[in-house]
Amino acid sequence: MSFQQVAGLLGNASQEANAETRVELLRQVQDLILHKNLTLLENFIEEVLNYIHDPQAVVKKFVLEFIEAASKTLPSILPRLIDHVHFAFFSCQIGILRRLIQTMPNLYRAAFYLTCSAVLVSPEVERAWTRVNALKSSILSLVYDKNEGVQMLVLKFAEMVVHVLSHHTRESERRNQTVNYQPPPLPSINVPMPAIDDEVCLDFVPPHHPLLRLEALREEGQRLFNLLVSITQSQTVSSTNLTVVVLSLSVVARQRPMFMPHVIATLLPLATREGLPKAFATAMVASVHKLLRNQLFNLLKHPASTEYHVDIADALYTLGAKRIEYEAYLRKQSGSSSGKRPLPPSMAPLSMYSDAAAATHAAKRARFDPTWPSQLSSLFGAFNAENLQQFPLRLVIDLVFQTMQTLPDSLAELEAPTPFAAAPFAAATTAAASAGLPSLGAESVKAEPTAVLDPVLIRQPALKPRRVAPFALKPSDPTPEQVQGLTKAIFARTLAIEASAASGGAASLRSSLLARLLSQPGNLASLLQLISPSDPTSAEAQEVLPLEQQLIDAMVEYIVENVRARMELAFGWLCHEYLGGGGPLAARLRGRLPVPLPRRYTRCLMALLHALREKLDVRDRLFTRIVIEAPAFTPEVLDLVLEYCTDSERSMLGLSTLHDLVLYRPPLRKVCLQKLLEFSRSDQLDLRRASIQHLVKLYASSTFAPVVEAFALESVAGLVKLEPRAVAMATDQDDGADTAQAPREISEEDVMTCTALLFALCAKSHSLLLEFAKIYAETSAQVKRPVLRQIEPLFKQIGMASPVVLQLLQSIPKGADTLVHRLLHVLADTAPPSRAIVAAVKEKYNTQELDAKFLIPILGGLDKTEILAVLPSLVALPPALSKDALGRLVASRHYTETGLLVLGSKVISPSDVMLALHLVDPQRDNVTLPAIVQATNFLFTFGNIYTQEVLASVLQQLVDMRPIPLLTMRTMLKAYDLCPGLLSFMVTLLLRLVVFKIWEDKHPRQLWDGFVLCCERLKPLSFQALVSLPPAQLETALTDKPSLREPLTQQVQSLPPQQKIRISTPVLAVLGLAPTQAPPAAHAPTPGVLIASSEVADASSEPSDPPPTSPQPMAMAT
């Protein structure tokens, strides 16, 4: 029954229009297949998951909820779920994204548990783990998202990942508290997730797992923990997110005690107002402090926080916690009302602790308890030379500075015997030295062995504060070595405190200090004056000069180590160098400098750029940023940029830097633009192309367009002189040599070098094509040929619709006709010619300004009448152009204005073209006969167009014409060679020609000769036409072709008598088969020359299909 019930619910959900109702139905399905009958999950899971594509957000959220529940119930199903989660992540709806982030903690735990459980990782499990990790990285990248709600969910997700990617310890808090925790045995992946799923951690990872690396996972967990810590130190974090992070860190510390020290160190600074972002209002500060106080109370009860109770108590005291409140909290946690649990030192009297413990925790209370200095005397008894090392160094320092306020100006003023001997100070000095701190003045105090100090012997009046004389340094004369050592030490220490300065909010102050220390001339001048106050040019002074270079090198090396994070330091340093050493202030400062430092700014900038050259990638734009944003630009920097441009690996970076210099450095605009223009004519193809791309971008600006355009036209103008190298790039000549170089022939590479920039600009500004046409008209044929080969891509970019094409046709410069012809050809191959283009070309042709070759590209726009009228002119063109025209006609490339093929009487068919060629009159149309013959031969190459049916139609029309065209018989021979199946049809045509008396004088002699050749080629079927001839014409034919006599005679002899009697006696007499009689006189055709006799002879000699071996006797009419 459950199966039908689930199917019915899914059917109703698919038909339900209301999204809320559909979700309710799907929720019932979820309850049935996940909680009541798990066996149905396999049958219906895909139907439920497909709703992730539903357009309603509420349905998508339910599917994510279902995926979360299914992964917890059956981890093995996760590989089938993760793809749908991945699809939902890329949804543009913020609500779906938030619901997905809420789902990810359980999915990540399930994926981790499933992967750990797999002894042999299957491809499905590996893919699921990979996809989950990809989703995890994508979600964690949203930690700084603009949406505060998304940030909060990402932080909670990060907390969960830290739990999973860390180890469980015996002190970890768990929901199900057990005495001895052991990682449970991994169950089968086909059973529901056990209740211990919240404790999934790195303890579950088996050794030598094929997919999981324990060390890498541990490091990832540490990085995410550091991310949470960094959020608390951010000045832009909101109060809500800070609250979430504090809660997360508290939970992490209690569940993963190994993070307890870091968590406490992170939370304690937040107890003061200075530890919170400055933008927090008073109410926000109060809210955060209230939460922090509660979490610190929670941490107090954890066993791992025992050694930090003093610090936590101090923070609680700062947050306003009272002693009675603390005692009540301890009683509540211990379940006892007696309050026997000891108090922390900051809230308990000193008598509760031993001397060492009291001394350990005393100094902190002094910071916030005004009455505490009066109790310091009770601590002195704990100090002696033996146990001083046991006390914290911070406590010793605090006590020393507290007591220094009560000391007299000299030891002589102390009353003797004084119990305040120098031993404690000596011991304190030893402890300080062991901790790496400077001495506390032990050199000025003589160490004498004393007993343990008794607090009773200390004079109480001496503890009263007294006025101390101001401290002043006495002048001294350090040596040059001391000056160098101190300078290096100060500089090195300032470099080393980067992390401390950043955490303390002094990063900008540190950067300014570094820049001023290194760059301001006054600092170095003071050092030089200390070294040699009398003579700044002495040898000692000159020896200290390398110190400056050492500091510069150290600064450059430090910046390059992490250049992206230290860019602000680099720019600050360069600005100080510019203002102090090479900028406007140099003129005023240099007069007071004992040793001038010329070119200091240039030296620093070039040192930084050269160091970055070895460090950065060849395409890293950081080099460009430094060059652009540097305070001043020097010739050395320009030389370096040009060196980048000519370097094959760094040319792209160098050219982009030049491009940016043109845009953002107005004083350098002219120089950099000229260099970029020169590179556009470089011999290196890659350099030339890249520079042209940048120039095209600059050409879009009206500021640079005139300069770039003028340079491009000037380069092309060099083609007129046939020495483009002399125009484009100056050739190197020996100094003093005034002999001119001999001109050399221009190459295609020269043409490409000079025209590449203009062609690229023409693609953006078509009007430049008119200027180029004028220059092209003046060039020689040697230049025009490579230009026509290279300009085809430009014509395709311009297109037929550009008005510049029509303008060029209307005013073609004299000598640029080949350019226009090429333009029309390229455009006609890409798009049908427009009506305006066709009209312009026809007008130019009618006025005899253009010849017939310009009609070839627009033949598709002419009708049948116009094509037949211009066909003789097309045939008279050179063979290549004539073949191009005939090919376009035969292919029927005729278009309307909209680009559609013309279907109607205006289309000229292939048979029309063939017939029109036969009607061309050599004398009338001024066309040579060989040209016509060559045109007809070309048409026969289109075997797929001139089929047997088309040729039969053409031959029929040619025979029926009066007068019969001159090339009819030749066409018949070519047709037979192409289609031997026309043999019977051609014999019929020969019989018709006999009826038309082809031998008469009114027909050209060439037709009779062609008739005889056809009879010879078509034998033996052509013998019908031969015996149909009059005896005189038969005798002439046999005389012209003696090879016909014998086979014809044999054929006639083989005829049966009833057929043989139908042949006239004169014909038989001609064949020698009747009594000899004088044949009647007949007028033979006028002697003449057969048309294209050599070609006909060739045709007659070409091998033809062999005749049938045993031809059947045929009836021949008398």
Instruction: Choose the final residue of a domain: 632, 666, 701.
Output: 632
Q: Residue 417, preceding bond cis, omega within 30 degrees? A: yes
Residue whose entry in the numeric block shows the structure tokens 């020393």: 400
361 and 318 belong to one structural domain: no
- The count of structural domains within the chain is 4
Q: Name the burial class of residue 48, with classes exposed (0-12), middle (13-18) and buried (19+) by CB atoms within 10 angstroms of its CB.
A: buried
User: How far apart are alpha carbons 94 and 852 in whole angstroms?
Assistant: 68
Any domain includes 472:
no
Encoded tokens for 527: 């050092």
What are the CB-based long-range contacts (under 8 Å, 24+) for 234-239? 234/277, 235/277, 235/278, 235/279, 236/277, 236/279, 237/277, 238/148, 238/151, 239/280, 239/284, 239/287, 239/288
Q: What are phi and psi of 901, to 5 degrees?
A: -65, 140
User: How far apart are alpha carbons 884 and 231 in whole angstroms?
Assistant: 76
Most confident residue range from 190-204, 315-329, 365-379, 737-751: 315-329
558 and 622 belong to one structural domain: yes
User: How far apart are alpha carbons 541 and 549 in whole angstroms?
Assistant: 14
Q: 452 by DSSP, 3-state: which?
A: coil
In the chain, count of helices (H) and strands (E)? 53, 0
Distance of CA 110 to the CA centre of its chain: 36
pLDDT value of position 180: 41
Cα 1008–Cα 1011–Cα 1015 angle in degrees, nearest 5: 145
575 and 618 belong to one structural domain: yes
pLDDT value of position 247: 92
User: How far apart are alpha carbons 995 and 739 in whole angstroms?
Assistant: 84
Percent with pLDDT over 90 in the chain? 7
427 — pLDDT class (breaks 50, 70, 90): very low
CB 460 within 8 A of CB 417: no
Q: 1086 by DSSP, 3-state: which?
A: coil
pLDDT value of position 391: 59
CB 649 within 8 A of CB 685: no
Encoded tokens for 185: 């045995």
Any domain includes 210:
no
Q: What is the mean pLDDT of the chain?
A: 74
Q: Residue 1020, preceding bond cis, omega within 30 degrees? A: yes
331 and 387 belong to one structural domain: no
Q: Give whole-number Cα distances, 948 to 871, 945, 1106, in Å.
A: 24, 9, 19
1031 and 1093 belong to one structural domain: yes
691 — pLDDT class (breaks 50, 70, 90): very high
Any domain includes 694:
no
365 and 261 belong to one structural domain: no
> pLDDT tens digit string along 825-837?
888 888 888 888 8
> Nearest Cα to 431, choosing from 397, 389, 471?
389
User: How far apart are alpha carbons 571 and 514 in whole angstroms?
Assistant: 12
426 and 538 belong to one structural domain: no
> Nearest Cα to 400, choosing from 358, 439, 435?
439
Helices assigned H by DSSP within 460-583: 480-496, 498-503, 507-519, 521-531, 539-561, 567-577
Instruction: Choose the final residue of a domain: 396, 413, 430.
Output: 430
391 and 487 belong to one structural domain: no
Any domain includes 982:
yes
Q: 237 by DSSP, 3-state: which?
A: coil
484 and 622 belong to one structural domain: yes
Per-residue exposure over 74-91, b if at least 16 CB sit within 10 Å of its own CB, e if not: bbbbbbbbbebbeebeee
Any domain includes 699:
no
Encoded tokens for 694: 């940048």
Taking residues 528-552, report their average pLDDT.
55
Q: How far apart are the first and last CA of the chain?
A: 102
Any domain includes 978:
yes
- Residues pairing with 895 in the sheet: 901
User: How far apart are alpha carbons 125 and 114 in whole angstroms?
Assistant: 8
Least confident window among 245-249, 482-486, 729-733, 1033-1037: 729-733
Taking residues 717-727, report their average pLDDT.
61
> Nearest Cα to 765, choosing from 714, 727, 710?
710
- How many residues appear in the chain? 1118
Helices assigned H by DSSP within 724-849: 724-728, 748-764, 768-777, 781-790, 792-798, 803-810, 817-830, 835-846
520 and 609 belong to one structural domain: yes
> pLDDT tens digit string along 925-958?
888 899 999 999 998 888 888 888 999 999 999 9
> Nearest Cα to 173, choosing from 245, 109, 105, 257?
257
CB 318 within 8 A of CB 369: no
> pLDDT tens digit string along 597-651?
346 788 888 989 999 888 888 888 889 989 888 888 888 889 999 999 998 888 8
Residue whose entry in the numeric block shows the structure tokens 């040599």: 737
205 — pLDDT class (breaks 50, 70, 90): confident
Any domain includes 1064:
yes
pTM over 0.75: no
1102 and 1002 belong to one structural domain: yes
CB 252 within 8 A of CB 259: yes
Any domain includes 302:
yes
Q: Which domain covers residue 245, as residue numbers?
A: 237-336
> pLDDT tens digit string along 1030-1089?
888 888 888 888 888 888 888 888 888 777 777 878 888 887 776 544 444 443 333 332
pLDDT for residue 360 is more than 60:
no
pLDDT value of position 362: 46
User: How far apart are alpha carbons 632 and 638 in whole angstroms?
Assistant: 11
User: How far apart are alpha carbons 715 and 760 in whole angstroms?
Assistant: 13
pLDDT value of position 590: 44
500 and 358 belong to one structural domain: no
Those residues with Cβ within 8 angstroms of residue 107's Cβ, 6 or more apart along the chain or in another chain: 67, 68, 71, 78, 81, 82, 85, 132, 135
